[in-house]
Amino acid sequence: MRALADPGPRRRLRRGVTLLELLLAVGIFAFLAVAVFQILDRSLSLWRRAETRRSLLAQASTVSDLLAHDLAGLEGGARGDLVAEWVTFDTDGDGIAETKWPRLRLVRQASAAEVRRLEQEAREANDDAQAQAVASPMRAGEGLSEVVWLVVPASTTDKNARAEGVVWRGERLLTDSGSKSFFAPDFFGHSNRPPAGATDEVGGGCLWLGVLLATQTSVVHDGWKTGPDLDCAATSWDAWARARPDAQAHPWNVPGAGMPAVRARPVLPRRVRFELELERESDRVRRTALAAPVEVGDSALLVDDGQKVPREEGAFVLVDAEWMLVTGVDGRNVTVQRAQRGTRLAEHPLGAMVHYGQRLVHEVPVATYREDWNL
């Protein structure tokens, strides 16, 4: 028999994957996996931000539309009224009222359906004798109701929730003798809260509700500004000039410079502008905190994560009870303008949360001055 030919060295080598090739394949796979994960993570992050923005805008729009509806129906006759003021709260228990929130009381025109609803609510809350007094002969377009809007702190014990407020709204017929008027001097107690059952919760997570009112001399067509000059907007209002906003409670309760004299009718603003900024409870877990204490003279914050600070123009952040305007973000350093939105300079400890929310701005022309005033 003839011996088989020797296949040679090349043929004697076993076919397979070398260790170098295996490591290279694993490295390429790991690189692709990381790239895919980063793409998915960014996509999910963008989706979460968009969903958060959509949810907050929907919640803010509900509150904003209801407040705008009340302001648009302001009564300009002899029975009308409007009081806009700022009240303070001690949320950290140190005996100093450091947090302020707005409070609005107004008289508005109510539709026939609204009158019937309020009459029914009054009958359910009052006895039969009082219910007879509530049942008025008013018809469509003739009814007037009192409305109160206020914000109270969400918590005085949870340090991260003290910055937030809860928005409440109450409404009653002007002729309802079974309940106390919202304009009664003793309607609000010493705690600046209404009686139980007089108001209903509208929404929580409110970081800011700012109200500006245009006087006869305010110039607002190129932007709203506050101050003592005649062209500035007012931060409080008293339609009958009875000194009801307490100027000692907060400087923003000082009457506007352009307030005209009151005669037989209440003086109403030409236009009302309000800002609403909300932050949900679930959003707090994604907020950053101070990585170093902040002194009164500081103009920058050092935070744990600079990516969790808003960067859009005109963005505000809230640390404890002080609002700050963000002017720049460089890594973990955040430059700010201190003591914004009528707040005061204060020291802030290490670990204080940096709050911010979704802002919604709404302007409402008042019907009495709906004609063209070159606003």
| 4 has pLDDT over 70 | no
Q: What is the pLDDT of residues 67-89, one digit of tens each?
A: 999 999 999 999 999 999 999 99
pTM equals 0.81
In a domain, 297, yes or no: yes
How far apart (Å, rounded) are the C-alpha atoms in residues 272 and 211?
A: 7
If asked whether residues 316 and 223 sit together in one domain, one would say no
Both 185 and 329 in one domain: the answer is: no
Domain span at residue 103?
52-281+359-369
> Is residue 316 a contact partner of residue 208, using CB atoms and an 8 Å limit?
yes
What are the φ/ψ torsions at residue 103 (nearest 5 degrees)? -140, 130
The residue type found at 175 is T
Q: What pLDDT is attached to residue 94?
A: 84
End-to-end CA gap in the chain: 114
pLDDT average, residue stretch 43-71: 71
Helices (H), 73-140: 112-125, 128-134
- The closest of 147, 365, 153, 103 to 253, measured between CA atoms, is 103
Structure tokens at 66: 């209801």
Nearest-CA neighbor of 212 among 71, 91, 344?
71
Inside any domain, residue 310: yes
Q: For the purposes of burial, counting CB atoms within 10 Å of the CB of 283, is it exposed (0-12), middle (13-18) or buried (19 or more)?
A: middle
Q: Domain for residue 306, yes or no? A: yes
The answer to whether residue 162 is domain-embedded is yes
Residue 121: the pLDDT is 85
Residue 258 and residue 116 share a domain: yes
Pairing label, strands 165-173, 322-330: unpaired
Q: State percent of the chain over pLDDT 90.
A: 54
The answer, yes or no, to whether residue 286 has pLDDT greater than 50, is yes
> Region 55-67: what's the mean pLDDT?
78
314 & 272 share domain: no
CA distance 284 to 286: 5
Are 210 and 231 spatial neighbours (Cβ–Cβ below 8 Å)? no
Co-location of 195 and 227 in the same domain: yes
Q: Is pLDDT above 90 for 174?
A: yes
Same domain flag for 57 and 95: yes
Q: Which DSSP string do the residues of 66-88 spell out, in sequence order?
A: HHHHHHHTB--STT--EEEEEEE
Q: Token digits for 99?
A: 């947090």
Instruction: Indicate if 116 and 171 belong to the same structural domain.
Output: yes
Nearest to 200 by CA among 178, 172, 175: 172
How far apart, in whole angstroms, are the C-alpha atoms of residue 108 and residue 116? Answer: 15
Alpha-carbon distance of 261 to 140, in angstroms, equals 32
Tokens read off for 223: 């932007």
Co-location of 230 and 292 in the same domain: no
DSSP string, 293-310: -B-TT--EEEBS-GGGS-
Within a domain: 329: yes
Distance CA 168, CA 186 (A): 18
Per residue in 89-123, pLDDT (tens digit) is: 998 888 888 899 999 999 999 988 889 999 888 88
pLDDT band at 28 (very low <50, low <70, confident <90, very high): confident
- 187 lies in the same domain as 250: yes
- What is the pLDDT at residue 51? 55
In this structure, the chain runs to a length of 375
Beta-carbon contacts of 272 under 8 Å, excluding residues fewer than 6 positions away, are: 71, 211, 212, 213, 214, 363, 364, 366
State how many domains the chain has. Answer: 2
**5 band by pLDDT with thresholds 50, 70 and 90:** low
Whether residue 341 has pLDDT greater than 90? yes
Residues 253 and 293 in one domain: no
pLDDT tens readout for residues 185-226 = 999 988 888 998 899 999 889 999 999 999 989 999 888 999
Of 186, 250, 257, whose CA–CA distance to 228 is shortest? 257
Question: Among 175, 173, 170, 177, which residue's Cα sits nearest to residue 193?
Answer: 170
